Amino acid sequence: MNDTPSTHSRIAIVGTGFSGIAAAVKLIDEGENDFVLYERSGEVGGTWRDNTYPGCGCDIPSHLYSFSFAQNPGWSRTFSGQPEIQTYLKRVSDEYGVTPRVRFHHNLNEANWDDEAGLWRLETSQGQRTADIFISAVGGLSEPSTPRFPGLETFEGPAFHSAAWDHDIDLAGKRVAVIGTGASAIQFVPEIQPEVARLDLFQRTPPWVMPRRDRRVSTLERRFFKAIPAAQKLIRTAIYWGRELFVLQMRRPRVARRTQAIALRHMHQQVKDVALRETLTPDYSMGCKRILQSNDYYPAVASENVDVVTTGISEVRPDGVVTADGEQRPADVIIFGTGFKVTDMPIGHRIRGRDGKSLHESWQSSPNAHNGTTIAGFPNLFMLMGPGTGLGHTSVTIMIEAQVGYVTQALRLISGKATVEPTEEAMNDWRDEIDRLSHNTVWTSGGCDSWYLDETGRNSTLWPTFAHSYRRRLSKFKPAEHRFGFTTAEPVTEPIVEPVTNAEKQTA
Ligand code: NAP
């Protein structure tokens, strides 16, 4: 292993999306100075930096989809668009002193726990860095998933994923093949439909689509929130508890049926063609996959220049897409709205613990982390938004803030050269609890195939109940559920790197 001068910090946070920024703000708050953040890109923001496709926005109300400690009275809409969320994240990162601690253009290739030295060795694109504590804040929606259709490499036109939108491609007058009808596709399809010549929408599973209750926030309202922050806090709290009620429909089919009726009515109002309605009607329970919200998806799909294609794709040819029935659909551009690698997260292959095994190997196709955060055999590793902490019904910022509070409690216990990891028993109990809570919910028995479920059929992605019960659970770090150790290695004395200046960032 390379022992040449490495840059050491007590804590290394990898990733600067919502969770990395939240962790850094909390550490600063705790008076912790010895930490840095590594970011593969040149800007903070994570998935909100990367996803710039037309129409990209959030389907959780802005007052809740933000940090509790950094409320934004200036949201221009009740559901924010990507540019505004990205601006918000950059502003929080700057205002709370996070940005100067970020090492941009540091892509994490590998992270290995060195048991002898009692530290993490992070192999980055800029060389090795070391840290006593490693906070992984890489997010679940960071690695786009693009199906490898036979012949894709022969396609002569541009082909790109929604998470890496190619803004240089002018879609006006083009024949476009869109693959996927998930949360991203239903946002960009209405944006591009009016300008393209033809749009073939390849739908494998129709989504449930509810009306989107989005509106502009008036200047008066914004002034009001600015003048009286408590009012915004009150609204946030009301939204929080209102969204918690959504869990009931995931657990009680009768409630779900009522909501399904609203979604069906929404479709009936917007799609007049009976055959198309049939094509767009899901055959699984609502909530089994993420419930989508849009007011312009159905009208776009019902437009004359759009065909919803439900026959599977068999291959891609230089000038189009061929379906299983042999029909060739000419295309100038292919856009993949095919989601992300969630259950087989790439970071799982890159992190290796005490015995050299990767997370992926130790998980055996079913990711698990105690409280979605710590993993036996991986000392001093804290995963933010780890397995079992995703949400479908409310804002992930709630989970993130609960986790960073929990992590800082753990860090207080291991000041000096100590290590912490959960006991196997605690990890098994947590997994059993996720399984018990998932049993008979719409996520596991709703009749769909979703990325919430891993290869073994377990829900290892979502926290399958109320967000407030997760908050409560993580409000107190329980030492008895963990194993502590002391490393005999000398403390690393290399200096902490000074914060990078903005000028350095630009030349990195
Ligand atoms: P997604 O919801 O996973 O949807 C992927 C789509 O691609 C699905 O329709 C899927 O069909 C289809 N697909 C995947 N592989 C395919 C293949 N080989 N052949 C044909 N179709 C294929 O991905 P996403 O739309 O990018 O959204 C991912 C997540 O991002 C969301 O669930 C949400 O958490 C987040 N997101 C959130 C917002 C927001 O407003 N907060 C907006 C965008 C995204 P099947 O359904 O049959 O698998």
What would the pLDDT profile of 271-326 be if each residue is shown by its tens digit? 999 999 999 999 999 999 999 999 999 999 999 999 999 999 999 999 999 999 99
For atom 17 of ligand 1, the residue with the nearest CA is 147
Give the predicted TM-score (pTM) of the model.
0.92
Distance (Å, whole) CA 391 – CA 410: 24
pLDDT, tens digit (0-9, with 9 covering 90-100), for 360-412:
999 998 999 999 999 999 999 999 999 999 998 999 999 999 999 999 999 99
Cβ of 287 less than 6 Å from ligand 1: no
Is the separation of the CB atoms in 10 and 35 below 8 Å?
yes
More confident residue, 107 or 392: 107
pLDDT, tens digit (0-9, with 9 covering 90-100), for 115-146:
999 999 999 999 999 999 999 999 988 789 99
**Nearest ligand 1 atom to alpha carbon 162:** 26
Kindly indicate whether the domain formed by 8-44+98-143+341-489 is annotated with CATH number 3.40.50.920.
no
pLDDT of the residue at 489 = 58
**Nearest ligand 1 atom to alpha carbon 185:** 25
The confidence band for 488, taking pLDDT boundaries of 50, 70 and 90, is: low
Cα Rg of the chain (Å, integer): 23
Distance (Å, whole) CA 185 – CA 176: 13
Chain-wide mean pLDDT for the chain? 92
Does residue 458 register a pLDDT over 90? yes
Interval between CA 404 and ligand 1 midpoint (Å) = 28
Interval between CA 290 and ligand 1 midpoint (Å) = 9
Interval between CA 451 and ligand 1 midpoint (Å) = 9
Distance (Å, whole) CA 464 – CA 18: 21
Interval between CA 287 and ligand 1 midpoint (Å) = 14
Cβ of 7 less than 6 Å from ligand 1: no
**Nearest ligand 1 atom to alpha carbon 183:** 25
At residue 444, the 3 state secondary structure works out as helix
Closest Cα to residue 176, out of 15, 407, 376, 330?
330
The confidence band for 250, taking pLDDT boundaries of 50, 70 and 90, is: confident
Is the separation of the CB atoms in 386 and 369 below 8 Å?
yes
Is the separation of the CB atoms in 282 and 205 below 8 Å?
yes
Alpha helices in 193-327 (DSSP H): 219-227, 229-244, 246-251, 253-270, 274-280, 297-301
Beta bridge pairs of residue 77? 216
**Nearest ligand 1 atom to alpha carbon 290:** 32
Cβ of 177 less than 6 Å from ligand 1: no
More confident residue, 433 or 347: 433
pLDDT of the residue at 254 = 72
At residue 424, the 3 state secondary structure works out as helix
pLDDT of the residue at 490 = 54
Q: Among 149, 290, 321, which residue has the most ligand 1 atoms within 8 Å of its CB, making it the best to mutate? A: 290
Is the separation of the CB atoms in 360 and 348 below 8 Å?
yes
Cβ of 204 less than 6 Å from ligand 1: yes
Does residue 504 register a pLDDT over 80? no
Q: Distances in Å between the alpha carbon of 507 and those of 14, 45, 185?
A: 21, 19, 35
**Nearest ligand 1 atom to alpha carbon 339:** 23
The sign of the CA dihedral 427, 353, 345, 349 is: negative
Hey, where are the domains in the chain?
8-44+98-143+341-489, 152-207+245-336
Domains 8-44+98-143+341-489 and 152-207+245-336 share a fold: yes
Cβ of 288 less than 6 Å from ligand 1: no
pLDDT of the residue at 505 = 37
Mean pLDDT of 221-244: 97
Q: Token digits for 7?
A: 């840059």
Mean pLDDT of 197-205: 98
The confidence band for 439, taking pLDDT boundaries of 50, 70 and 90, is: very high
**Nearest ligand 1 atom to alpha carbon 65:** 41
Does residue 498 register a pLDDT over 70? no
Cβ of 179 less than 6 Å from ligand 1: yes
Beta strands, E only, 306-387: 306-309, 313-317, 320-323, 328-330, 333-336, 351-352, 381-383
Cβ of 487 less than 6 Å from ligand 1: no
Cβ of 339 less than 6 Å from ligand 1: yes
Distance (Å, whole) CA 175 – CA 192: 11
For atom 24 of ligand 1, the residue with the nearest CA is 339
Interval between CA 310 and ligand 1 midpoint (Å) = 16
**Nearest ligand 1 atom to alpha carbon 392:** 34
As a residue count, the chain comes to 508
Residue 40 CB coordination number (10 Å): 17
Does residue 497 register a pLDDT over 70? no
**What percent of the chain has a predicted confidence (pLDDT) above 90?**
85
Is the separation of the CB atoms in 182 and 291 below 8 Å?
no
pLDDT of the residue at 281 = 98
Classify the phi-psi angles of 357: left when phi > 0, otherwise alpha if psi is within -120 to 50, otherwise beta. Answer: beta
pLDDT, tens digit (0-9, with 9 covering 90-100), for 133-181:
999 999 988 789 999 999 999 999 999 999 999 999 999 999 999 999 9
pLDDT, tens digit (0-9, with 9 covering 90-100), for 324-346:
999 999 999 999 999 988 777 78
Distance (Å, whole) CA 236 – CA 100: 30
Cβ of 338 less than 6 Å from ligand 1: yes
In CATH terms, 152-207+245-336 corresponds, of 3.90.550.10, 3.50.50.60, 3.40.50.300, 2.30.130.10, to 3.50.50.60
Residue 408 CA, distance from chain mean position: 22
Q: Among 204, 321, 342, which residue has the most ligand 1 atoms within 8 Å of its CB, making it the best to mutate? A: 204
